[in-house]
Amino acid sequence: MADLVELERPESVHSAEEPREPIAIEDVETDVSEKKVFMADDPETMFGITLPKLDQETEAEGYYQWHIKTYRDLEERIEGPVFEVGEHKWKILLFPYGNKSASATDHLSAYVDYVRTPDTPSENRHACAVFSIVAHNVNDPSVYHSQHARHRFSPQENDWGFTRFVHLRSAFSENWEDKDRPLVENDEVVISAYIRIFKDPTGVLWHNFSDYDSKKETGYVGLKNQGATCYMNSLLQSLYYTNYFRKAVYQIPTENDDPHNSITLALQRIFYQLQTADDAVGTLDLTKSFGWDSMDAFMQHDVQEFNRVLQDNLEGKMKNTRADGALNKLFVGKMKSYIKCVDVDYESSRTEDFWDIQLNVKGMKNLQDSFKDYIQVETLDGDNKYFAEGFGLQDARKGVIFQSFPPVLHLQLKRFEYDMMRDAMVKINDRHEFPLEINLEPYLAEDADRSQPHIYKLHGVLVHSGDLHGGHYYALIKPEKESGWFKYDDDRVVRATLKEVLEENFGGEAPPTTNGFGVRAPQFQKANNLRRFMNAYMLVYVRESMIDEVLAPISEDDTPPHIKEQLEKERIELERRRKEMEERHLYMYARVVHTNQYKNHQGFDMGRLEATFPGDEVPADEPITMRILKSMTFRDFREQIATENGVAPGLVRFWMMVYRQNKTSRPDVPLPAAAEDMTMDQVREKYFQHRTPDVKFFMEVADPSFVVDGVALWPNEQNDGNMLVFLKEFDTEAQTLKGAWYTYVNRMDKVGDIATAIVSKKGWPSNTQVKLFEEIKPGMIEPIKPKQTYHQAEIQDGDIICFQRTLPEKQLADIQQSGGYISATEYYDFMVNRVRVTFKPMNIDDTQQEFYLDLSRKNPYFLVASKVAEHLGVDATHVRFTTSNSQTGQPKSTVKQGPGVTLQNMLQPYFVQNPSTQLFYEVLDVSLTELESKKSLKFHWLSEGVTKEELVEILVIKNGCLQDAVPLLAEKLKLSEDQASRLRVYQVHNNKIYKTVELTYPVASVPDYISLYVEEMPEEEIHIQPNDRKIPVFSFSKEPSRPHGHPFTFVIKQGETFKETKARLLKRTGFKEKEFGKIKFAVVKQASFSKPTYLEDDDVLSQVADEQDDVLGMDHADKTGRTRFSAFERAFQIKG
């Protein structure tokens, strides 16, 4: 072993209060022609140039120098003495000739090892450190080599370093790099370790999260991400920790709610699980209650709209409950829009509620600037003077002021805005600071209630990381009044520092980084500043004076009892399944076909031993299925089955069912007596083919005629020529194929002899003719010659003989005419090609429901139509089918009728790989033949403004005009002749009016992509005044590029104030006053999506909308779910 020498040093551990700064080359005074030389035996210098200064708080730092005197005598693996840095023990670990396990035999491998000692407090003990390993020449410290890294040292990952620290040939060469001495000289070298330990206030610094437990580390759990639901998770966590809100949700009665369609019930379950669960909580039940499919889970939605639509839904559910009014009390404030004259005593104002406040970020330094900008006063003077009623044109001040703030204030930072130059939405990543505490009194109206302070404390920060086209959302929340901050990132919850809450989410440019791993760039290079794409988009503040009420703890009594009971049942069931999975190696399955089951079986083989049709209840022909211990004896198994079926155990016998090469399962031979005391696992391995995972039996019950003194005398044991065969009956009249019974026959008997026994047992007249068939396999059903013996017909144990009663020709013709099958072979063919088709109505109403029919893929179109028409009680010529998309389940294309079209063609057109088993149907007013000569036009009938829409579809002659549709519309809509004379039609595209068309417009010219709207022309348009004009009106959500709803035209009256205009708009649109009050109106350009000009009550629409292409926009939430905002975002819609 080589001598190990610890060099003397002034200190082993450097105080954390005096951290060393990295030494930069530009900080060293040096002659221009002389390069600065650093000495590796100077710890101060080595700390400065080998360890990067990270943006973390230092806990402790120290170093150790290890003098190796006889390098070539070292063993393959060697550990240095233990030394301390901070409260942690360390040592240097060397592989002098390379770490062979890492295939580095030509290098010195060097590591820092974190020493776990018996007095180490816990397995969670760790140290987050930046370290460097330095090797230097003993005689000339200017000859050195170093590498550095960072690592989270723990008992699980206790060593870290450099497998290829230095190449051995280079280290021993006479000239190390540009020096004239080797690194290792005379077999001597000094290996040093410099360690700087950083504080880890969150407990997850540089954590790889492979074994992270949120509940254990923080006491809280997260929410699972379904694909792109991180935006929803962040908001749900914020609402959950608003305890007043959570309590209000709990107070909504949900005991009788449908668990699949109730948003409230799903939300209650999520909230309770967040309280009690040990692992992340799923949100699938909640999104299902929204009416979403899997595609919605991968589409991002607008968070603000999500919040509003969700709370609108909950507010409705809270009506007339204990929670009634809770959301208004918690989230709703009041603001006043005003215009106040300067020189006269006149003010026009309007007070309205707000649920959140949208604040500008661009051009604003901080939150206070955003509030000042929001209430900024605009002066109306000069050419822009305000017309005050009774005072004429006056100088005035126009603005918005707050009259009250709610206990919980949601601030939406406008990180996403429309860029006119780019003609696109962009994300604003500018720096925007927000405080932990803010006083909102400066933004209140003079007459506002100031009896309580308006100091607000930051409670939550919702963050978006990414750009407009995608990104990630998470939340930083202070869950309790006196708690710290936590980061809720989907299923992971970690502690957070104030820096992570504030500085890192202000946006703007990130602090300058340094080259490599933090070391300043050599040769005075400066790293580029990077713009942060991670910033706050929503802030949650709670009023300090109400924080105790808002964040009051949730008690056990606040939780709905039925939620706890249901989740406990689910937990017990989950535990049962988990235990079952753990013990499944101890169990096996046994399936038993028995007499009663066989008689109820309709189909192939002995029973439905495999899958059943979807939607079927457990059928009477289902074999007995048992989960049994592999160690159970066959004797016990036989006795249990017999007893459960009410038969003496001695009167039953079990036949092994084997899977034949023709893909049928049939009884083969009885299980021998030797199996009685064997375990079921031994029976399976010895007697069943291929050691199948389960066993299948046919349980034979002894016929009373073969029982003597309580002992069964089995026929095939008395005579080797006897065979067990099974009989099935095809009932031509009932169109059924069912098991009949089983019997013994002798191999040398003629097959035709069994016909007499069949007629007798069925009670048919003695002259009844019977046809016999052998069921060989699906698709192979062959007639049996009656004069053949069973041996000649190759009938053996377990075979199935099907019989059919012969009927008169006329009766058979009638059955065939009605779509039935007249022979067993035809019916078997039907079963081979049978498919259960689901028929869905194209337009659901009270008269048309979803149903299914069992049909053959070979059925021609006319027969499918006849079967459907018979079920619906309609004429088959009036039924039209539409194919279904196999991926989405939505209607795809209309099926063309024709003689060569079969059901197979209808379900699987164009050789689709995954055919659907679903068709849509319509019952038409005319036959399909007549339909082909006409064109179907769909009109959106607006009968009450724009709030009530009825879709009307009519058939118009293809070479006609829209005038031909008027009498048909009048008939369907029950309009009077006078009303019909006032109908007007306009074309709509992308929720905007495309153009108004005359009734002489050709039907053939109507494009497929255009929607036709029809309405009765309003009186004010019929009697429009000469100075008035019409303007198109459309709805949008936040941005004009997000249109929705039904557009219309409206009369602008010259000189009318917008307050008066709105009164006419209320009547024209048909909105309810409360809903109408939430709409903001703006003038926008029709040709381009320019920034809208929002209107106030005292504006004059005829003056603001003074250009030809101006349109009037109504800004309000889209509740239809049809708006698509971007490639990654859709309008939010919930149905529950």
What stretch of H or E contains 794? none
The residue whose two tokens read 């070979």 is 858
Give the bridge partners for 754, in sequence order.
none
| 351 CB-near residues (< 8 Å, 6+ apart) | 334, 335, 336, 403
Instruction: Using the Cα atoms of residue 25, residue 30, residue 36 and residue 42 in order, give the sign of their dihedral.
Output: negative
* Maximal CA-CA distance, the chain: 128
For 917, other C-beta atoms within 10 Å of its C-beta total 14
| Cβ(317)–Cβ(249) below 8 Å | no
Burial of 832 per CB tally in 10 Å (0-12, 13-18, 19+): middle
| Cβ(791)–Cβ(721) below 8 Å | no
User: How far is the C-alpha of 405 from the C-alpha of 258, rounded, in Å?
Assistant: 37
Helices (H), 133-204: 168-172
Q: What is the DSSP letter of 706?
A: G
C-alpha 1001 chain-centroid distance: 46
| 495 CB-near residues (< 8 Å, 6+ apart) | 201, 202, 203, 204, 217, 218, 484, 485, 486, 487
Instruction: Using the Cα atoms of residue 669, residue 671, residue 674 and residue 680 in order, give the sign of their dihedral.
Output: positive
User: How far is the C-alpha of 589 from the C-alpha of 629, rounded, in Å?
Assistant: 9
User: How far is the C-alpha of 497 from the C-alpha of 478, rounded, in Å?
Assistant: 11
| Cβ(908)–Cβ(917) below 8 Å | no
Length of the chain: 1136
User: How far is the C-alpha of 687 from the C-alpha of 303, rounded, in Å?
Assistant: 63
User: How far is the C-alpha of 328 from the C-alpha of 309, rounded, in Å?
Assistant: 14
Instruction: Using the Cα atoms of residue 180, residue 185, residue 190 and residue 191 in order, give the sign of their dihedral.
Output: positive
User: How far is the C-alpha of 789 from the C-alpha of 753, rounded, in Å?
Assistant: 10
What stretch of H or E contains 636? helix 634-644
Helix axes 303-318, 230-240, angle to 10 degrees: 50
Q: 67, 472, 562, 791: which one is catalytic? A: 472
User: How far is the C-alpha of 191 from the C-alpha of 112, rounded, in Å?
Assistant: 11
User: How far is the C-alpha of 1005 from the C-alpha of 958, rounded, in Å?
Assistant: 10
Please provide the DSSP assignment of 841-882 as one string: ESS--SS---EEEEEETT-BHHHHHHHHHHHHTS-GGGEEEE
User: How far is the C-alpha of 1081 from the C-alpha of 1092, rounded, in Å?
Assistant: 9
| 325 CB-near residues (< 8 Å, 6+ apart) | 318
User: How far is the C-alpha of 189 from the C-alpha of 70, rounded, in Å?
Assistant: 9
Reply yes or no on whether 230 is catalytic: yes
Residue 381 token pair: 């003077």
Nearest alpha carbon to residue 2 among 79, 91, 100, 112: 79
User: How far is the C-alpha of 222 from the C-alpha of 597, rounded, in Å?
Assistant: 50
User: How far is the C-alpha of 35 from the C-alpha of 177, rounded, in Å?
Assistant: 15
Q: 88, 148, 207, 230: which one is catalytic? A: 230
Strands (E), 754-850: 770-777, 780-783, 800-805, 834-841
Q: What is the DSSP letter of 554?
A: P
Reply yes or no on whether 1044 is catalytic: no
Nearest alpha carbon to residue 14 among 47, 42, 51: 47
Q: Where in the sequence numbering do the catalytic residues fall?
A: 230, 472
